[in-house]
Structure 1
Amino acid sequence: MIRRWLADLVLGTRLALSGGGARTALVRLGLTAVGLGLGVVVLLTAASVPHLLGARDDRAAARSLDPAAAVDGVDPVYVAEREDEFRGRGLQGYLVQPTGPHPPAAPGVDRLPGPGEAVLSPALAELLRSPDGALLRPRFPQRVVGTIGDAGLTGPNELFFYLGSDTVARQPHTVPVSRFGAEAPRRGLSALDLLLVVVGATTCLVPVFVFVVTSTRLAAAARDRRLAALRLVGADRGQVRRIAAGEALLGSSAGLLAGGLLFLLVRVLVPEITVSAFRGGLFRADIVPDWRLGAPALLALPLLACAAAVFALRKVVIEPLGVVRRGPRTRRKPGWRLLPAVAGGALLLTRPGDDDARNPAVVVGVVLVLVTVPLVLPWLVERAAALLRGGSPAWLLAVRRLQLDSATAARLVSGVAVVLAGSIALQGIYARTESEQPVARDVRVLASFYATSFADAQAFANAVHALPGQGAVPVRTVGQFENAAGERTPFRVGTCGALRVADCRDGDVYAVAGGGHRPTPGEPVWFTGSRPAGPPQWTVPAVHDVPAVGDDSAALLVTPAALATASGAGLTASVTIPAADPDLVERVRNTVGWNGTVYSLGTERDGTHALVARVLSVGSVLVLLLAAGSLLVAAGEQLRERRRSLAVLMANGVGRGVLARSLLWQLAIPVAVAVVVAVPAGLGLDWLLLALVAHRPMVVDVPAVAVLAATAAAAVLLVTALTLPALWRTTSLEHLREE
């Protein structure tokens, strides 16, 4: 029995390769392979995400600092971590100061740089050499002695550096490191971000299986004629179903091969196209499908294709004398088609909780709601086509075609409908997360410069005042010291004019009333954050009492001459520049260099949320392209199946313009119905997830929903335009011959 079944499957594959002529069969097989291949690419890409994120996190952990570890035979290196930006691109790295000839090894680096040397990532080195990096070069005056290898970068386009300096030990937030590598903290996701991931992943994956079923049904009429011929020579109905499964198995196998080749092409192109989509870009080697996810999905595709091919024969009577497809049939009923939506809504109504969006009930509920869209669509298209009357010849041709075969049209646009419904739900959740992000107001640039003396702080202030339009901006110099008991005292350093103290003399120290801990004159203290630890760095002189001045939070006001006896004072000079233009921000960063930090206040964003949003945006674009590609493939095959009837219409005087408009209406009407289904489904799913799962009010972004619906309409116009050349060839009179 097994041998007989295998023989039937082999016969099906042979018929798929030769049925209707070798050329026609190969074209049909190619179209099916392309449709399935697009789905395979999406599945393989989705299965690669866990490995991709894990590899990035592992490399980030390998270069992270582990100050607690002490390694025998390794000379510690003082390291200060720095994060910066250049025209919106993240820029980060380490300032290093070796303490001996045997520093620890950093991943991807042959040796750590010494004072005045730099080791840069390839992308950063290229940026500095390009004209676009002119404003960035002042931050890297060091001599470049090497580049960072892939093992030390999260992505090929990451801007990362190691800069050697002999002042790192005296800077704040510096740690001695004997080994690079520690467990990196994993990104945490809020409830809304989890919902974004769940809905985004479902929206990207559910259409794939819809497209697989659609691609399997290509050239169904020609296949049914071949099966009728087999019935004529003695094949029974069971054999017919197995032969049909064999044809689908060949198409799905070709789709797996085509998808694998397309996936390899994606891996080649990814390092070039993901710069703005994923911070730092993606390494080609990171895009490796997880076999635990990819293998079941890829094995499911041939099974799904065979099941779809056999299931499609349930209402087709294939007899030795022909195929009965257009006989009287009952209307589709909506009852069972709504059951998945009811079940999905019931699962979401279980309210798994604010912080439990990972609950499988949420995932299954989203899948069931989205699956309802392609199930309800054929019934609605059939009902809509039955109600349409009158119109131009192109309209009449389109409506009559839909009335005769509405299921094919519904299958063509079902993928677009699923993508549209999921995108609307995704957009609603994204709008809610955006509304909970910090509102950008009072945009300012805050620059902090780490100085070891008041002279250094004053030099920084002079450099800031030399910037265009910043001659009068105030620069504050502050610090903090602690005594042997660990009591800390914040202080501010400035001239008498800046401190606004009556009867002020340079060299005096003033204690502000109510300002906090007051040190004892003659008490030895250490400046907080200063290195190395050793003898006291300053002895507090006589202190004079003054009333509180303005909103100054310092406990002491110190004049410059009073610090003349200090050894290596740890000071911070800070300046706030309101509403700075981009070039001025970069000049401020250059002025600070790596002896401080620069922040853009009022524009802070959650990095994890931004990462999730970028990834989902890329996924949505890929699935939209998949939807358009599948629609184009299916529309092209429909033209091939109808080439003789179209040629007959052309021979009887119907113009090509009428046929083109008819083709447009045949796609536009089902798409309009798909929009009518997808918009309420997407909004309903959005409400279920936000109100019942995340317990947040629903936000409807009407312009975004309108844009998404317009995108579906644009897809119809695009597919119609791309199929016009095929239509011109199809309407050739030579197709009047029976092949």
Structure 2
Amino acid sequence: MSARWAADLALGVRLALGGGGARTAWARLALTATGVGLGVVVLLSASSLPHMLAARADRSAARLPVAEAAGGVDPVFAAGRDDEFRGRGLQGYLVQPTGPHPPAAPGVDRLPGPGEAVLSPALAALLQSPEGALLRPRFSQRVIGTIGDTGLTGPNELYFYVGAADVAGQPMAQPVRGFGGEPARRGLDPLEVLLVVLGATTCLVPVFVFVVASTRLAAAARDRRLAAVRLVGADRAQVRRIAAGEALLGAFAGLVAGAGLFLLVRVLVPRITVSAFRGGIFAADVVPDWRLGGPVLLALPVLACAAAVFALRKVVIEPLGVVRRGTRVRRKLWWRLLPLAAGGALVIGRLGTEDARDPFVIAGVVLILVAVPVVLPWLVERVAGLLGGGSPAWLLAVRRLQLDSATAARLVSGIAVVLAGSIALQGVYARAEGDRPPPGNVRVLATAFATGVDGARAFTTALHALPGLAGVPVTTHALLQNAAGEKFSLAVQTCAELAVAGCRDGDVYTSDRLAPGAGLWSGGADRTRPPQWTIPVAGHHVTAQEGAALIVTPGALSTAPGLALSVNATIPAAGPDVVEQVRNLIGWHGRVSSLGTERDDTSALITRVLSVGSVLVLLFAAGSLLIAAWEQLRERRSTLAALMANGVGRGVLARSLQWQLAIPVAVAAVVAVLAGLGLDWLLLTLLVHRPMVADPVAIGILTATAAAAVLLVTAVTLPALWRTASLAHLREE
């Protein structure tokens, strides 16, 4: 039995390679392998995501400073910086070594001293380019080296270690004796989990849809070969095994092609410089998790064989020919609704969990998306049956759809699944964005660290001298503590700002908790030394304070030139150049951050990954549609040539081809929109109890994008149509 199976499968492989002419056979195999190979690339890339994220997280944790004592190591004072340059992340540490043996940071030969810097290769290249002109003032130090791959999360990350002599006195500075901590992690909230689940299913379901469709390419030529096999004595069971062998060859060729394309993707990934992945991706990080990808890849040949055999269920292959439906049977709807009903039931049955990671919820989402290509052939058949007369191109297209609507539905099923998933994904994303507070009018908050009121005045003067910032309000604050460690907030205001009768420069207004003569230190200062500032007796007033324990006029701090002050400026919406000039003005003695536009790193990473994934899957669906359209032209070359011979013009054929895709696309768009909105309602309203958000503009853009992809495919296939419709094809190859 096993020997007969092996022989039949081997015969199927030989027929796939040589049946119908070597050139035609290899062309069919190339089309099938390309389709399966594209699916393999997507699956391998998706299974590489866990390793990629884990590797980035491990390298990020390896450079986190730790304060544990280590023998033979001189501590360094380090202050972390999280900055930006024109929207790109810019991170690193300011360091101040205290001895000749500082701790070793990953990827760095030695930490820089005052006036020195160690930069990532991408940051060094940016500073040398014309684009980095506004960034150079922040990196005037002498560069003594670059950071190796072990100290970076990606090849395009902008990261640095800058040496300075005054780090110890900066807020948030800490003594560091080594590197290698644990990254702070948090769980995903329900909306983020929904984004991940929807994104993953939207990216993967179209792959399996097209893998099934690609194994049915060149079905007519395959059926003719099988009829010839029947003529020489093969029974029906052997025919099915031979068909499985042909599909098996295409699937294995697709695995090889996909593996090669994946290796090419690994080579090209480090060249991605867009902000989709912050810092980029190392090629070494793109490693498939074979626990996830292995079983899926092994299942692809089985899926291909099953699809090929299943496609023969309504085909009668006899020695004298092939019969497809002696009488036309209308498709049944009831069983096509089963995936939709089962998926909805699985989601509704888990309402109490509020967790999209539940396997039943994931299975429900997959079934609902799978229902789209399952229901689509029935709907296309019904719509085509209702269409009537029109132009010759319209009549040709409608008649073709009425004769064979399943092929057209299969062509656009991948686009429909991507569109349905993208609409559902957009709804969850819009809900997550709607939960964020409104940004308000303030765009940027600039904070400078100054020592004493003279430094605060100098910063204020320089800030107001920048273009368009003359009237920007500036406030000065400090966090102080007494000998007992109690903390008090301080605000510096002029008498004009206080608007208090009898106020004179040098007055101090405190709560009853602070008495004249009390010694105070800046937060983090050494309290074993004399106080940095003592509350003066002259001009002291006890009042009920709101928001600050002390309000002092600038003259009261003239005796505390070393007191650490925080100078804050709220900057209205300004151009990127102005923001970068503010960052250059502050330098390493403060920070500039956006207000209302900041996003959590985890949420931002999820959004970036899913955005790139959606675009790639849409390109994959368009590519698969193009391959299938080319194969349809090859199969219909005799018919098209006959039409040309009978006087049908090329323009009529081109418009007919366009209508043959446009009609199923219109039906697919309606199904996808309904499926996407229904999935949103199930997941948002019922599962996580959030109001559903429908953005008609976004849905329209997504639908138009899918339609544009189909129109582009039609345009690309026109040259192939001209060649296929040649009169030379009147004789069957």
CA offsets 1:192-215 (integer angstroms, 9 cap, x no match): 111111111101100100000110
Question: Retained in 2: the 8 A contact 1:509–1:542?
Answer: no
CA 1:303 to 1:516, structure 2 compared with 1: closer, same or farther past 3 Å? farther
CA distance in 2 between partners of 1:466 and 1:605 (Å): 31
Q: Which residue of 1 aligns with 2:514?
A: 518
Q: Which residue of 2 aligns with 1:640?
A: 634
CA offsets 1:357-401 (integer angstroms, 9 cap, x no match): 211121111001111111111111122222222222222222222
Q: Which residue of 1 aligns with 2:697?
A: 703
Q: Which residue of 2 aligns with 1:28?
A: 28
Question: Retained in 1: the 8 A contact 2:398–2:660?
Answer: yes
Q: Which residue of 1 aligns with 2:64?
A: 64
CA distance in 2 between partners of 1:319 and 1:418 (Å): 36
Q: How does 1:426-441 map to 2 (within 5 A)?
A: 426-441=425-440
Q: Which residue of 1 aligns with 2:548?
A: 553
- Structure 1 residue 114, shift from structure 2 partner: 0.1
SS of corresponding position for 1:615 = helix
- How many residues are treated as equivalent by the alignment? 733
> Residue type matched to 1:586 in 2?
E
Q: Which residue of 2 aligns with 1:19?
A: 19
1:44 aligns with 2:44: yes
Aligned counterpart in structure 2 of residue 586 of structure 1, from 551, 575, 580 = 580
SS of corresponding position for 1:344 = helix
> Residue type matched to 1:28 in 2?
R
1:542 aligns with 2:540: no
SS of corresponding position for 2:525 = coil
Q: Which residue of 1 aligns with 2:645?
A: 651
CA offsets 1:309-335 (integer angstroms, 9 cap, x no match): 011111111111111114114211100
Question: Retained in 1: the 8 A contact 2:442–2:570?
Answer: no
CA distance in 1 between partners of 2:668 and 2:534 (Å): 79
CA offsets 1:468-523 (integer angstroms, 9 cap, x no match): 243454433322322222222322346666666666666x55233xx3631451x4
Give the stretch that moved more between structures: 102-111 or 487-496. Answer: 487-496
CA distance in 1 between partners of 2:680 and 2:554 (Å): 61
- Structure 1 residue 349, shift from structure 2 partner: 0.8
CA distance in 1 between partners of 2:526 and 2:449 (Å): 13
Q: Which residue of 1 aligns with 2:80?
A: 81
Question: Retained in 1: the 8 A contact 2:230–2:318?
Answer: yes
1:727 aligns with 2:728: no
Q: Which residue of 2 aligns with 1:612?
A: 606
1:310 aligns with 2:296: no
CA offsets 1:684-723 (integer angstroms, 9 cap, x no match): 1111111111111111111222222222322221111111
> Residue type matched to 1:39 in 2?
G
CA distance in 1 between partners of 2:140 and 2:539 (Å): 45
CA 1:134 to 1:354, structure 2 compared with 1: closer, same or farther past 3 Å? farther
> Residue type matched to 1:207 in 2?
P
CA distance in 2 between partners of 1:599 and 1:516 (Å): 35
CA distance in 2 between partners of 1:472 and 1:614 (Å): 37
Question: Retained in 2: the 8 A contact 1:501–1:546?
Answer: no
Q: Which residue of 1 aligns with 2:479?
A: 480
Question: Retained in 2: the 8 A contact 1:374–1:418?
Answer: yes
- Structure 1 residue 37, shift from structure 2 partner: 0.9
SS of corresponding position for 1:511 = strand
Question: Retained in 2: the 8 A contact 1:51–1:288?
Answer: yes
SS of corresponding position for 1:586 = helix
Q: Which residue of 2 aligns with 1:184?
A: 183
CA 1:712 to 1:577, structure 2 compared with 1: closer, same or farther past 3 Å? closer
Q: Which residue of 2 aligns with 1:490?
A: 489
Q: How does 1:62-211 map to 2 (within 5 A)?
A: 62-67=62-67, 69-211=68-210
> Residue type matched to 1:529 in 2?
G
> Residue type matched to 1:476 in 2?
T
Q: Which residue of 2 aligns with 1:325?
A: 324
SS of corresponding position for 2:479 = strand
CA distance in 2 between partners of 1:208 and 1:711 (Å): 19
Give the stretch that moved more between structures: 198-207 or 424-433. Answer: 424-433
CA distance in 1 between partners of 2:589 and 2:579 (Å): 16
- Structure 1 residue 539, shift from structure 2 partner: 4.1
CA distance in 2 between partners of 1:464 and 1:612 (Å): 37
SS of corresponding position for 1:307 = helix
> Residue type matched to 2:607 in 1?
A
Unpaired runs of at least 5, structure 1: none
CA 1:391 to 1:542, structure 2 compared with 1: closer, same or farther past 3 Å? same
- Structure 1 residue 419, shift from structure 2 partner: 1.1
CA distance in 1 between partners of 2:716 and 2:516 (Å): 85
SS of corresponding position for 1:390 = coil
Q: Which residue of 1 aligns with 2:225?
A: 226
CA distance in 1 between partners of 2:287 and 2:503 (Å): 69
Q: Which residue of 1 aligns with 2:464?
A: 465
1:683 aligns with 2:677: yes
Q: Which residue of 1 aligns with 2:621?
A: 627
Aligned counterpart in structure 2 of residue 530 of structure 1, from 525, 530, 540 = 525
CA 1:691 to 1:469, structure 2 compared with 1: closer, same or farther past 3 Å? closer
CA 1:185 to 1:284, structure 2 compared with 1: closer, same or farther past 3 Å? same
CA distance in 2 between partners of 1:290 and 1:91 (Å): 31
SS of corresponding position for 1:118 = strand
- Structure 1 residue 608, shift from structure 2 partner: 2.5
CA 1:658 to 1:498, structure 2 compared with 1: closer, same or farther past 3 Å? closer
Question: Retained in 1: the 8 A contact 2:488–2:548?
Answer: no
Give the stretch that moved more between structures: 347-356 or 152-161. Answer: 347-356
CA distance in 2 between partners of 1:89 and 1:545 (Å): 48
CA distance in 2 between partners of 1:664 and 1:444 (Å): 48
TM-score, with structure 1 as normaliser: 0.95
CA offsets 1:561-605 (integer angstroms, 9 cap, x no match): 6553x4732222222233333222111111111111112223333
Q: Which residue of 1 aligns with 2:712?
A: 718
CA 1:251 to 1:469, structure 2 compared with 1: closer, same or farther past 3 Å? closer
CA distance in 2 between partners of 1:539 and 1:715 (Å): 72
Q: Which residue of 1 aligns with 2:568?
A: 574
SS of corresponding position for 2:65 = coil
CA distance in 1 between partners of 2:700 and 2:554 (Å): 64
- Structure 1 residue 526, shift from structure 2 partner: 2.5
Give the stretch that moved more between structures: 86-95 or 345-354. Answer: 345-354
Question: Retained in 2: the 8 A contact 1:351–1:692?
Answer: no
Question: Retained in 2: the 8 A contact 1:9–1:247?
Answer: yes
CA distance in 1 between partners of 2:696 and 2:133 (Å): 43
Q: Which residue of 2 aligns with 1:664?
A: 658
Q: Which residue of 2 aligns with 1:381?
A: 380
CA 1:474 to 1:35, structure 2 compared with 1: closer, same or farther past 3 Å? closer
1:391 aligns with 2:390: yes
Q: Identity of counterpart residues, as a percentage?
A: 71
CA offsets 1:258-306 (integer angstroms, 9 cap, x no match): 1111112212222223522111111111111111111011111111001
Q: Which residue of 1 aligns with 2:280?
A: 281
- Structure 1 residue 560, shift from structure 2 partner: 4.1
SS of corresponding position for 2:524 = coil
> Residue type matched to 1:695 in 2?
H
CA distance in 2 between partners of 1:251 and 1:236 (Å): 23
Question: Retained in 2: the 8 A contact 1:63–1:152?
Answer: yes
SS of corresponding position for 1:421 = helix
CA distance in 1 between partners of 2:545 and 2:180 (Å): 47
> Residue type matched to 1:604 in 2?
E
CA 1:532 to 1:248, structure 2 compared with 1: closer, same or farther past 3 Å? farther
Question: Retained in 1: the 8 A contact 2:78–2:94?
Answer: yes
Q: Which residue of 2 aligns with 1:346?
A: 345
